Structure 1
Amino acid sequence: MENQHYVALIVGVTGMVGFNIAQALKKPDCKGGPWKVYGAARRPPPATWFPASIVDDFISFDAVDAVTTQASLSPIAHEVTHLFWVALHFQEDEEANIATNKAMLHNVLTTLKSSPSSRLTHVTLQTGTKHYMGPIFDPARSTQLLSHDPPFHEDMPRLPYPNFYYAQEDLLASHAPSLTYSVHRSSIIIGASSRSAINTLVMLGAYAAVCRHLRLPFRYPGTRYTWDHFCDMTDSEVLAQQHVWAAVTDKAKNQAFNCTNDDLFTWKRMWKLLSEVFDVEFVGFDENDEDRVDLVEFMRDKDEIWDEIVEKYGLVKTKLKEFAYFEALKVVLHFDFQHVSSMNKSKEYGFFGHANTFKRVTFWVHKLRFMKIIP
């Protein structure tokens, strides 16, 4: 296949990673380029921060609906050579996650491959470290899980729990050898979007803004263990670079790769930085603090406060429920193990992307402010 004929479909293009994949593919020096890029999401892109020029065409459809998916993607099914899958749909429990997220991927794959002249050759699949921990966000299971010991590495066996990541990987494997795939297991993703289901910096920014608005202290809503012990993050630009690298690198085909910034942090140090960039007073962790904050409970009734903040600072019109899954952040801040993944395999295969987590947190917070997503 000639390089200039590469055509990408990014499902989830308005999210943190999808947006950066589109930007990466449109760079003049992008490997395999110049690319034609189709972007897709459930809702039309926000005109406030999503430039129309970042994709050649935008397609709005709900991948859960097979009929809608077929109607929306059939016109381009003969063109697409690479599918970048960075979409997800959170449900109440893991069985529902499996049913919904597997169906979404199945519907898109079925449509793209149904064209008699289908050119689809590779799919990149976005997953995460839940692969090594089990369904940590499922309330019925999360307290009984046995996870792998960190640092997590890609040849660790699957855990004996339902996991929609496993179902999606199996679905892609079932299409071999007619297409190849790569799996990208991220840590806590940082980036800028008002459309990501879980955006840690936006959630923490909203929490800080509410604290500042109500003149309350910006208390750490986690445990002593996570305050003191190591964790890692994944910059959305690094993750996008890995997706693109794997899509055009023969050695990376049918492989899974962790993706982190390849450095570590403690929440103790991170909280000092966040206090500075969010312009709130730093409050250290106090084991004996009687006012220890439960993030989920604290933010549960803050919808109207957030609306006031959005109005006061002229922010993008968002609702807390659109980007703030505080239950997930609470789980992360209550881990009783060090959330760390190995990047050895990625480097051994030739991907050397990395980032300075502290510098990138500052960068993305400034970006979120510029985009009018947080104050």
Structure 2
Amino acid sequence: MNTPKNVALVVGANGIAGLNLIAHLETLEGWEVIGLSRRGGEARERVRFISVDLLDAEDSRRKLGGLTQVTHIFYAAYQDRPTPVELVAPNVAMLVNVVNAVEPIAKGLQHISLMQGYKVYGAHLGPFKTPARETDAHHMPPEFNVEQQDFLERLQKGKAWTWSAIRPSVVVGYAMGTPMNAALAIGIYAAMSKELGLPLRFPGPPAAYDILLDVTDARLLARATFWAATNPKSANQAFNINNGDQFRWSEMWPKIARMFDMEVAPPLPLSLVDVMADKGPLWDTMVAKHGLARNAYADINPWRHAHGVFSTNFDFLADTTKARRFGFQEHIESEVMFREIFADYRRLKVIP
């Protein structure tokens, strides 16, 4: 007898969350994956990709209108814009276009998973109540994460499928070609500093060096996302997901420096967007000297996201006891996570 198939539609397949979720799904029996992104992707045994412009409702209907076998939609797409107001229209539209194209025709649809984040709590606006909890009141709109969840809640009423909302901290893990990747930024910033004979200097203000924060391992996030989508107790719930520990950069930064065999210097506020803009020639030299994978420097652009991470000068953390109460018990020490991720980048010849 053939193993029953679940078909996962991963939206935002090339982002850090989507990429790691697909990697997890590939390890599971009985799952097939369809990845959606503008860039498409390389098909594998149980994974295929569709290149689609999710901002275009007609293109979405045309490209996705035949996906009748989808059982789970994992939505992790994101369009960046300069202001909270501008974020709403494109990010709500992409979710609506996907769901409107697939939900009416996928008669076996079981679950829609929505990737959110601490923006729900106003983390992008300034100091917010910490530790943030899923029961915290929403802040003054506009907020696209809240509007996305409201859309799913309204649509789900009376339907057999369920939804979940996953709220990670800063996501840290392996991914290339995505701008939201603090681990890649740290790895390349450290490697370049070492190449130039410099110590590893925290590039944010002194106040940011001493905040208390948590982060989310992309691999752990993938397992948590899958858990919430397949655990009946988790139906129609939101969950904070992070590593389970907290740290200060003032404690973690020297440990990261030791991972690169480097000394540490005091923090100095730097605009990574500006100081890394002219490093293309240095990168090309390093690729040749160290035999690195030929990733074009123009395609490595996590600096704006990293600048925001390292400039945050208020505590940045959320409570995860709800996920534990509902059954997700996994955790990882953040120092171990950084060490493993940098080891992956070295193994894949991304950094020396």
- Do these two structures clear the TM 0.5 threshold for a shared fold by scoring above it? yes
Tell me whether 348-357 or 16-25 shows the greater mean CA deviation. Answer: 16-25
The structure-2 alpha-carbon separation of the partners of 1:172 and 1:303, relative to structure 1 and needing over 3 Å to count, comes to farther
Q: What SS class does the counterpart of residue 204 from structure 2 fall into?
A: coil
Cα displacement (A) at 1:254: 1.2
> Which residue in the other structure is 1:93 paired with?
83
User: What is the one-letter code of the residue matched to 1:62?
Assistant: D
> Which residue in the other structure is 1:128 paired with?
117
Cα displacement (A) at 1:180: 1.8
Q: Name the % identity.
A: 31
> Which residue in the other structure is 2:25 paired with?
25
Work out the CA distance in 1 between the residues paired with 2:87 and 2:285: 33
User: What is the one-letter code of the residue matched to 2:18?
Assistant: G
The structure-2 alpha-carbon separation of the partners of 1:107 and 1:307, relative to structure 1 and needing over 3 Å to count, comes to farther
The structure-2 alpha-carbon separation of the partners of 1:317 and 1:100, relative to structure 1 and needing over 3 Å to count, comes to farther
CA offsets 1:326-345 (integer angstroms, 9 cap, x no match): 23322322333221111111
CA contact (8 A) 1:188 1:234 kept: yes
Q: What SS class does the counterpart of residue 58 from structure 1 fall into?
A: strand
> Which residue in the other structure is 1:223 paired with?
205
CA contact (8 A) 2:74 2:114 kept: yes
Structure 2 residue aligned with 1:172, among 152, 165, 169? 152
CA contact (8 A) 2:182 2:305 kept: no
CA contact (8 A) 2:12 2:37 kept: yes
Cα displacement (A) at 1:23: 2.9
Work out the CA distance in 2 between the residues paired with 1:20 and 1:295: 26
Structure 2 residue aligned with 1:52, among 27, 32, 44? 44
User: What is the one-letter code of the residue matched to 1:332?
Assistant: V
Cα displacement (A) at 1:88: 1.1
Q: What SS class does the counterpart of residue 156 from structure 2 fall into?
A: coil
User: What is the one-letter code of the residue matched to 1:155?
Assistant: T
CA offsets 1:205-242 (integer angstroms, 9 cap, x no match): 12122222333332111233332332111111111111
Cα displacement (A) at 1:68: 2.2
Cα displacement (A) at 1:21: 1.8
Structure 1 residue aligned with 2:101, among 92, 102, 111? 111
1:340 aligns with 2:317: yes
Work out the CA distance in 1 between the residues paired with 2:73 and 2:292: 33
Unaligned runs of 5+ in 1: 137-141, 286-290
Show the 5 A alignment for 1:1-375. Answer: 4-28=4-28, 34-45=30-41, 52-53=44-45, 55-76=46-67, 78-115=68-105, 118-134=107-123, 136=124, 142=125, 145=126, 147-177=127-157, 178=159, 179-285=161-267, 292-320=269-297, 322-375=299-352
CA RMSD in angstroms, aligned pairs only: 2.4
CA offsets 1:124-145 (integer angstroms, 9 cap, x no match): 11111121125x2xxxxx5xx4
Cα displacement (A) at 1:151: 0.7
Tell me whether 263-272 or 221-230 shows the greater mean CA deviation. Answer: 221-230
Q: What SS class does the counterpart of residue 74 from structure 2 fall into?
A: strand
The structure-2 alpha-carbon separation of the partners of 1:292 and 1:14, relative to structure 1 and needing over 3 Å to count, comes to closer
Q: What SS class does the counterpart of residue 231 from structure 1 fall into?
A: coil
CA contact (8 A) 1:193 1:368 kept: no
CA offsets 1:47-79 (integer angstroms, 9 cap, x no match): 6xxx824x4322222222222222222222x10
CA contact (8 A) 1:189 1:199 kept: yes
Cα displacement (A) at 1:41: 1.9
User: What is the one-letter code of the residue matched to 1:23?
Assistant: A
> Which residue in the other structure is 1:288 paired with?
none
Work out the CA distance in 1 between the residues paired with 2:310 and 2:87: 22
Cα displacement (A) at 1:256: 0.6
CA offsets 1:142-187 (integer angstroms, 9 cap, x no match): 5xx4x43211111111111422211211221221122321111101
Q: What SS class does the counterpart of residue 245 from structure 2 fall into?
A: coil
Cα displacement (A) at 1:3: 8.4
The structure-2 alpha-carbon separation of the partners of 1:62 and 1:371, relative to structure 1 and needing over 3 Å to count, comes to farther
User: What is the one-letter code of the residue matched to 2:86?
Assistant: A
User: What is the one-letter code of the residue matched to 1:363?
Assistant: E
Unaligned runs of 5+ in 2: none
Cα displacement (A) at 1:319: 4.6
CA contact (8 A) 1:195 1:323 kept: yes
CA contact (8 A) 2:166 2:241 kept: yes
Aligned residues: 349
Work out the CA distance in 2 between the residues paired with 1:345 and 1:248: 17
Q: What SS class does the counterpart of residue 75 from structure 1 fall into?
A: coil
Work out the CA distance in 1 between the residues paired with 2:44 and 2:61: 24
Work out the CA distance in 2 between the residues paired with 1:229 and 1:359: 20
CA contact (8 A) 1:101 1:164 kept: yes
The structure-2 alpha-carbon separation of the partners of 1:302 and 1:152, relative to structure 1 and needing over 3 Å to count, comes to same
Work out the CA distance in 2 between the residues paired with 1:316 and 1:114: 43
The structure-2 alpha-carbon separation of the partners of 1:97 and 1:319, relative to structure 1 and needing over 3 Å to count, comes to farther
User: What is the one-letter code of the residue matched to 2:272?
Assistant: L
The structure-2 alpha-carbon separation of the partners of 1:91 and 1:303, relative to structure 1 and needing over 3 Å to count, comes to farther
Work out the CA distance in 2 between the residues paired with 1:3 and 1:66: 34
User: What is the one-letter code of the residue matched to 2:235?
Assistant: K
User: What is the one-letter code of the residue matched to 1:44?
Assistant: G
